[in-house]
Structure formats: C-alpha cells, structure tokens
Structure 1
Amino acid sequence: MFSALRKCSDKIPARLVVAIMCFFACWCTYMLRLNLSVAIIAMVKPLPGKESKGNGDGAVYPALHCLIARWAPPEEKGRFIWSLLGGTFGTVISFPVSGVLVEEWGWRESFYVFGGVVLFFSIFWIWLIRDSPDKHPRISEKELTYIEERIGTNVERNEGAKTRSKLPILRIMTSLPFLALLLCHYGNLWGLFFLLTLAPKFMSDILDFDLKKSGGLSSLPYLARVGFGFVFSAVGDYMVKNETFSRTTIRKIFVVFSHLASGALMFLIGYMDEYLWLTVLMMTLSLGMNGAATVSNLTNHHDLAPNFAGSLYGIMNGIGVTSGFIAPMISGRILEKNNGLYEWRILFIIGALFYIITGVIFIIFGSGNIQSWNTPKATAEDSQPEEQGAED
C-alpha cells in the first residue's frame, strides 16, 4: 500500500501535497473542536443563555503559516492560504456527523471515532510533510529549484537555534503597515464571529426560522466562503504572477471585497425585516465576499515579513479572537432588555462598521512591501527606514 502511495506521491508536486495536507489539517482541527462542543452538550445540561464556544486554532494556524512561508512561491500564495479554509469546510461536514455519532453511539464513542481519524491523518502528515523543501526526500530537483528561486532570500533556510533571527517584537508593534493589518484582521474576525454565532439567533428569534429543519440551507454561508475564496485566491495569484498591479495595490483591491463589500451586505441584513430568503442570501454573499480575505488580511503578513509569518499570525489571531467573546458580550447587553428588530439592526450596523472602518484603515496605511525587520540581523538595513511605496 505504502509503495503504491509513494509512487503516486512522486508524480505529484510536493508543494501540492503540502497544500492538500494543510487543508485537511485545518479540517481536523475544526472537527475536534465541533465534536467537543457537541459532546459537552450531550454530557451536561447547558445553562440558560450560555453556549459552549471555543477557538480550536491554537498553535495549528501559526505553524501552518510558517510552513507556507517556506513552501509557497509568491504567485501561489493565495491558493496556499485558501487551503487553510479547510476548517470552514470541515465545519459543514463534521457538525452533522458528530451529531449523529453522539445521538446513535454516545459521546465517548464520538471521541474514539474523531480521535482515530486525526491519528490516521497525523501518520500521513509525518510521512509526507517536511518543514522546508530542501528537507523533503521526494521533491524533484526541478521543483526545489523553482521554489527556492521564487521565494529568494526573504526566508531564512538555516533553522538552527543559534543562527535563527529573534523576533523583533518592538519593531513589529511599532510598524504602521503591521498595525493596519492587525486592525484589518480584527475587523475580519469580528464580522466572522458575529455572522457565524449570532446571525443564526437572529434568524431564529426574529424571522422564526427553524434551523433544525433547514437542511443544507444553514450551510450555504460556509460553503460560499470556501467557494468564493478559491476564486478570489486564484484571481489574486494570477494578478501577482502577471504583475497586473503592485503587491500593495492587489492586497488593497481585495480588501474592498473582504471588508467593504462584506460590511455593506451585513448592514443590509438588519433591514431585511421579515424577508427570510433575502436574509439568507445577504448572509451567504457577505461570507462569500469575505473569501477574498485569502488574498488580503490572511496573506499580507507573508508580504511584510515571511521570516516571521507564523509569529505575526499568532499575534494577529491572539488579539483577533478576543472579538469572539467581546461581540457576544456587547450583543447580550443590547438585547438584554428587548430582543427586537431595532436592537438587532444596531448589532448588524456595529458589525458592518467593524468591517468597513478596519478595511478603510488598511487601504490607507497598509502595505504589500517586505519590511526591513524581516531580516533584523542585517544591521545595515536596520538603520534604513522601511519602504512603504516601492514594490518588493
């Protein structure tokens, strides 16, 4: 079996295998997260008004961004980042499967099943994946040369602990392009958490929509983000490859879709009143437009400092996920006295403003140029101001 798989893998580009495995790594991460949420509900009776929410990202996403920085040529970066939406697709598939397992077999057995799947996947990950192309035993010389030439010297290849560059945290946190990206990412997560956690409550409480009987309708927004995201990432990579615009301009163009368009559609949801199908359509389009994040805020840190892509994403996501509990807290206070259409309209306007304002900030202050602190060892470069306008 393994010999046949080895022959098959030898014919497939190693970086394609890395992208596919990243997709399933994110799938597994969300699969375990969702099963835990479903199992907790089965184990204990939840308190009124409380929900079991969590963030299953942990160290997985920063590690995958670090891997992508070493494997993805610039003209393929968007599609590599799109592979990280495997978690979104995993949500659609895993939630009903987990529910059936818990209902039919019990919550203990659901852990055995999903744990076994992840263990099986981990064996393939260890076998197929290496930290960098030059360490991969089955990569062709042609592909290795192509990746190294396209990535260039922006990513360190020597990973020894004594020679690895230290994270220039002070310069990062005082970098205007990174701070603009940080706000952009925060606005993105605020809008996502709001739509994915609170919009279903709006549909249930205000529009009397039975989510349990909706079939695949409730999955449409998730699928739209995955589908639109692939299209956006392919278009973005095409523009980078053909140098249609500068890297900075490309990132800002896609922020128009991922933030401004998503925010405008979210704003409209609050004015749909009793139009259920229009509400579902607006939600689907809003998350679909947000798929452009694969070419904007989810990729931009690779432009700024590919050497520290994993660390930058860890900072961005560590701060960004706070919106996952701040947004519900604010929503709870607004809906505390009255759970009516007017109050929900205020919430949708707040979510839309987070999208739009942070998107505008990035359009003004964001950059697609590599920053001098990407190579902090180069003291000669450190003494020069960072370029904000010229393309890397």
Structure 2
Amino acid sequence: MKIATRFWIGCMVFLTTYTCYTTRVNMSISIVSMTKKGHKSTPECIMKSESHNRNESNETTDTSPRDDYPDYGPRYEWSEQVQAQILASYFYGYAIFSLPAGFLAEYFGPFKIILIAHIIAAVFNTLCVYAIWLNWGVLCFCRIILGCCGGLIYPALQCLIAHWAPPEEKGKFFGALMGNVLGTCITWPMVGAITAAFGWDWGFYSVSIKNVIFCIIFFFVCADTPEMHSWISEDELKYIKEKQAGNVEKQKVIPPYLDIAKSPAFWVLAICHFGNEWGLYLQLVNVPKFISEVIGFKLEETGGLSSVAPLCRMIFGMIFGLIGDTLRQKQVMSLSAIRRMFTVSSHILTGALLIGIGFVGCNWIVVMLLLALSLGLNGACSQSNLQNPQDLAPNFAATIYGFNSFIGGCTGFLVPAVTGELTKYNNGIREWGIAFMLGGGIVVVCGLTWILFGSVKEQPWNRKGGPS
C-alpha cells in the first residue's frame, strides 16, 4: 500500500520546525560554556546545600568565587545584561521578519522561503564562532540574521499546511509543528556533550551540519502545493481538492491588511499567541541558565535536564493533535468548544504550573516536574492558538501567523531582558521565582482573553484580496 504524499509533507513540516529550532536554542546551552561567571560562579542552591552540610558538621562555609572552569574554549566576561542581549538578539530578527513572512510565503511559495532561510541559517550559525573573536555585538548581529531566517519559517508552514491538509487532518499537521520541541530536546544535550568533548565551537558546527542535511532532504521531498508535487497520485490530489471545498485559493492575491487590522478575532488571537510565546521562551531561552547557574548542575547534565520539559511538549502536542482530529471527525464537540478546551490546557494550566515554580525553592525534583508538566500541557497550543489562523482565514493564515509571530516574537527579547533585570544584582532562586510567577500570570491572562472573546468563524475577508 502506497503511503500518501501528504504524509511525507507532514514529515517535512516536522523536520522543518526541528531544524529551525536547532539554531534558535543552541545558544542557551553554548553561552554557559562561553562565559566567566565571576562572583556568581557558585550556584545559590549549591551554596545552601553546602552550608547546611557544613553547619551540621561545624565546618566553616567557604563562599568565595569559583574560577576552576572546565576548558571548553575561550571564556568571556559578559555581564548578565550582555548575556541577555546575546540570547535576545535572535528574536529581534525573528520579530521583524515575521511581518513580511506571510506575504512572501503566499507570493513566492513556502518551498523557496523555507529552503533559502535554512541555507542562510547554516552559514550564519557557523559565522557565530568567528564573530565572537571580534566582539559580542558582532555575535548579536549573526544571531539577528538567524532570527530573520527563523521568522520566515512558521508563516511559510501555515501556507504549506493550508494547501496540503484536508480540514479533518489539520490536527496531525499542526501536531507536526512540535518537531521544534524535538529540535530542543536533541540540540541541548547534543551541544552540551559535543562542547564537553570538543569545545564550544563544535557546538555551533554540529548544528550547521544538521541544517545542510535538512536542506538536501527538503529539496527532494517537498512542494508548494499538491498540484506541483512530482509523485502525488491523481486520487490523492482529487481527495485533497474535494475536502478543501474551495476554501483555499491557489491564485496569488494581496492580503486584505486593513480588514485584518480591524478584525477583533485577529487581535484576540494575537493576545493569546503573545501569552503562549512568553511562557515558551521563558523555558526555551532561560531554563538552561537557571538549571546551571542557580540549581547547580554541570553543563552535560544541564542539556539533558533542560530537554525533559520540551520532550513532554512534543509527546503531548502530537497526542493533542490526534485527539483534536478525532473530536472533529466524530463531531462530538463544536469547533469552538474544542479550541477553548485546548486553550485551558495550553494557557491556564500551563501558566498556573509556572506560577507554582516560584514557591518550591531549591527543590530541583519538584521544579523539574512542574517545568515538564507545564510545557507538556502547553503542547495543546497545536489545537488552540497555532491552528486558529486556519479557522479564521485559511487563504491568509500565513499572513495572520506572521503578524502574530511579530507580536509574540517580541517576548523573545522581552523575556531575557526582564529576567536579566531581575537577576542583575543577585542571580538567585528568589529572583527566578519572580520571573516564573510573572510569566505564568501573563500566560493565564492571555489564554483567558481568548476563551472569553476568541472566534473560530471564517472571516468574510478570507475570500477577499486583489490579484497580484
């Protein structure tokens, strides 16, 4: 029995997000091995544990700074604010290029956009190694270019999914977006292990090599639309057209920007997406530093522990995708009820668990459980804010998602900046607890906004737009 071509397209969606995230999250691990921590070198939780043990044995506690760094390569005296800027720089480019990404994908086709973006990303991720020799500002520039490439990807995937996915199967396709989580799960321990063995420069090279391999596979497997694919069968092509029932136009049109800007449904979705991104980047960007510099795990351990929560997100996200498709096919719930049910998981429960981290102190087992469960439940976003653009306007889902990525992508530099300010004078468990409670509160409020005011109805401007 021949495997459907759209199955391979779904695999490409998964691999695209997987590869995209490797250049997004690798710096979160690499920066730990590239910096001198100075007076903050002894993690607070380690100091508390050592102090407790020594007090019990009446020994003197030595709280002097540690400078016995493992030899992973040159280390730099970057302040918490500089490190925050390096981590945030990716998201400056990501937010800016998210704005035109939808139109570019709808006009030139998602195939070209995704392929070119990954080629450029492979080049500039490699250049990061040499940029560091010059100045941390040059490193930030390279990370900004990487962010520009990343900002193009998700709107392009919205366009690809709109053309390839029958409505009853969109849950599986959006579940495939959780490939980004596998990218995180593999990249963090991989970069940690490679850095420990060969130095932090090879942490960058290894990620670039993976990008090149992806580009080769993507070139031979993917196509913009079913009509353009070289090996799709006539039966499958007919099936996709019938299921889409004319909701998706193949002609190139100018998006109705004014209608989108005036749409309450769009703005409520943008708020929901902003909250989701805040909670996500709080974990993806900052948690490795938290685990290493506050809890006190070694670099090799940091990568593996940091990957547990993203792995839960991938597993839960794909399960939620199957559940969502089943509910739609059997029509046991309305689409509105399905979206709201999953938003409770992706935002309300996720945010509540993040808030809980602020109350558990240095109990690292409980911290890791809360992180894993919160990010796992957030996998339901594949059935809430990630899929809602397809409900509102499948013809312009890429454009809508691009705008949402611009608004939500700002959290990529807001989260490190806020955390950097909170930890400026003391990089301790109390300051990080405030960061988690603040982030959790934002996630809950944004999710509640969509539950109360969100929409799943096709917008009248979905069928508008002048020929380009």
TM over 0.5: yes
Larger mean CA deviation between 246-255 and 331-340 belongs to: 331-340
Question: Matched residue pairs, number?
Answer: 364
Contact kept, 8 Å, 1:28 with 1:87, in 2: the verdict is yes
Following the alignment from structure 2 to structure 1, what is the Cα–Cα distance between the partners of residues 302 and 377? Answer: 23
Deviation at residue 247 of structure 1 after TM alignment: 1.5
Residues 109/377 of structure 1: CA separation in 2 closer, same or farther (3 Å cut): closer
Contact kept, 8 Å, 1:79 with 1:234, in 2: the verdict is yes
Partner letter of residue 377 of structure 2? M
- Name 1:3's counterpart in structure 2: none
Q: 125, 134, 151: which one pairs with 1:58?
A: 151
Residues 103/336 of structure 1: CA separation in 2 closer, same or farther (3 Å cut): closer
Partner letter of residue 359 of structure 1? G
Partner letter of residue 266 of structure 2? F
Following the alignment from structure 1 to structure 2, what is the Cα–Cα distance between the partners of residues 212 and 134? Answer: 47
Contact kept, 8 Å, 1:34 with 1:98, in 2: the verdict is no
- Name 2:62's counterpart in structure 1: none
Residues 265/241 of structure 1: CA separation in 2 closer, same or farther (3 Å cut): same
CA-to-partner distance for each residue in 1:208-267, whole Å, 9 max, x for gaps? 455643573332101000011111111011111122222222111100000000011111
Q: 102, 112, 123: which one pairs with 2:216?
A: 123
Q: Say whether 1:89 aligns with 2:182.
A: yes
Deviation at residue 297 of structure 1 after TM alignment: 0.5
SS in 2 for 1:138: coil
Q: Say whether 1:176 aligns with 2:264.
A: yes
Q: Say whether 1:317 aligns with 2:405.
A: yes
Residues 377/337 of structure 1: CA separation in 2 closer, same or farther (3 Å cut): closer
- Name 1:276's counterpart in structure 2: 364
Larger mean CA deviation between 302-311 and 46-55 belongs to: 46-55
Q: Say whether 1:70 aligns with 2:61.
A: no
- Name 1:222's counterpart in structure 2: 310
Residues 60/206 of structure 1: CA separation in 2 closer, same or farther (3 Å cut): closer
Larger mean CA deviation between 265-274 and 103-112 belongs to: 103-112
Deviation at residue 296 of structure 1 after TM alignment: 0.3
Instruction: Provide the alpha-carbon RMSD of the alignment.
Output: 2.6
Relative contact order higher in (CA < 8 Å, ≥ 6 apart): 2
Q: 79, 83, 105: which one pairs with 1:48?
A: 79
Following the alignment from structure 1 to structure 2, what is the Cα–Cα distance between the partners of residues 341 and 110? Answer: 28
Residues 276/18 of structure 1: CA separation in 2 closer, same or farther (3 Å cut): same
Following the alignment from structure 1 to structure 2, what is the Cα–Cα distance between the partners of residues 99 and 266? Answer: 25
Residues 25/215 of structure 1: CA separation in 2 closer, same or farther (3 Å cut): closer
SS in 2 for 1:220: helix
Residues 191/145 of structure 1: CA separation in 2 closer, same or farther (3 Å cut): same
**Aligned ranges 1:157-172 → 2 under 5 Å:** 157-158=250-251, 164-172=252-260
- Name 1:390's counterpart in structure 2: none
Following the alignment from structure 1 to structure 2, what is the Cα–Cα distance between the partners of residues 188 and 319? Answer: 11
Residues 339/102 of structure 1: CA separation in 2 closer, same or farther (3 Å cut): closer
- Name 1:236's counterpart in structure 2: 324
CA-to-partner distance for each residue in 1:129-161, whole Å, 9 max, x for gaps? 111112222112221122111111111023xxx
Partner letter of residue 234 of structure 2? E
Relative to its length, the structure with more helix (as a share) is 2
Contact kept, 8 Å, 1:304 with 1:368, in 2: the verdict is yes
SS in 1 for 2:151: coil
Residues 36/208 of structure 1: CA separation in 2 closer, same or farther (3 Å cut): closer
Following the alignment from structure 1 to structure 2, what is the Cα–Cα distance between the partners of residues 122 and 130? Answer: 13
Larger mean CA deviation between 99-108 and 276-285 belongs to: 99-108
Residues 266/115 of structure 1: CA separation in 2 closer, same or farther (3 Å cut): closer
Residues 290/38 of structure 1: CA separation in 2 closer, same or farther (3 Å cut): closer
Partner letter of residue 119 of structure 1? V
SS in 1 for 2:181: helix
Following the alignment from structure 1 to structure 2, what is the Cα–Cα distance between the partners of residues 111 and 220? Answer: 22
- Name 1:198's counterpart in structure 2: 286
Following the alignment from structure 1 to structure 2, what is the Cα–Cα distance between the partners of residues 100 and 92? Answer: 13
Deviation at residue 272 of structure 1 after TM alignment: 1.0
Following the alignment from structure 2 to structure 1, what is the Cα–Cα distance between the partners of residues 201 and 300? Answer: 24
Contact kept, 8 Å, 2:292 with 2:302, in 1: the verdict is no
Following the alignment from structure 1 to structure 2, what is the Cα–Cα distance between the partners of residues 35 and 207? Answer: 20
Q: Say whether 1:262 aligns with 2:350.
A: yes
* Identical counterparts, % of pairs: 39
- Name 1:300's counterpart in structure 2: 388
Q: 357, 362, 386: which one pairs with 2:445?
A: 357
CA-to-partner distance for each residue in 1:72-120, whole Å, 9 max, x for gaps? 1112112111212212211221233344545655677666654444333
Contact kept, 8 Å, 1:211 with 1:218, in 2: the verdict is no
Q: Say whether 1:17 aligns with 2:17.
A: no
Residues 183/34 of structure 1: CA separation in 2 closer, same or farther (3 Å cut): closer
Following the alignment from structure 2 to structure 1, what is the Cα–Cα distance between the partners of residues 211 and 237? Answer: 29
SS in 2 for 1:291: helix
CA-to-partner distance for each residue in 1:37-92, whole Å, 9 max, x for gaps? 77784577361323332244221111111100111111211211121221221122
CA-to-partner distance for each residue in 1:182-205, whole Å, 9 max, x for gaps? 000000000111123334444455
Residues 328/296 of structure 1: CA separation in 2 closer, same or farther (3 Å cut): same
SS in 2 for 1:59: helix
- Name 1:386's counterpart in structure 2: none
Residues 141/357 of structure 1: CA separation in 2 closer, same or farther (3 Å cut): same
Partner letter of residue 365 of structure 1? F
- Name 1:30's counterpart in structure 2: 21
Deviation at residue 341 of structure 1 after TM alignment: 4.4
Partner letter of residue 82 of structure 1? G
Following the alignment from structure 2 to structure 1, what is the Cα–Cα distance between the partners of residues 9 and 457? Answer: 26
